[in-house]
Amino acid sequence: MSEELESSSPYRIGEKVRIVAMPAYVKTAEPMPMLRPPSVIRLGEEGTLVDRRPGGYWCVRFPKGTFLIESRYFEPAQPPQATPPESHT
């Protein structure tokens, strides 16, 4: 089943993602999950995908912990854009 989940998703485990919308709450990705206020993460914060869960949820590791986040709340983190070299003509 995990192969099926992997093939239908644009994301890969180990990929960096950025929070683009705040959920009403976040759930910890621990054996005994707890609901936490969304303030434990910030809009624009980057995390790493560590596991895929059913229902569009991913385990995302942030500096303050690992949380279950729906994929609609994040997007791939883009590397910083390199500035084009200046022309000296």
* pLDDT tens readout for residues 9-46: 788 999 999 999 999 999 999 989 899 999 999 999 99
pTM (2 decimals)? Answer: 0.76
- Sort 86 into a burial class: Cβ within 10 Å, 0-12 / 13-18 / 19+: exposed
All domains of the chain, ordered by start, with CATH?
A: 2-76 (2.30.30.40)
Calculated CA dihedral for residues 17, 75, 18, 8, nearest 10 degrees: -30
Amino acid of residue 4: E
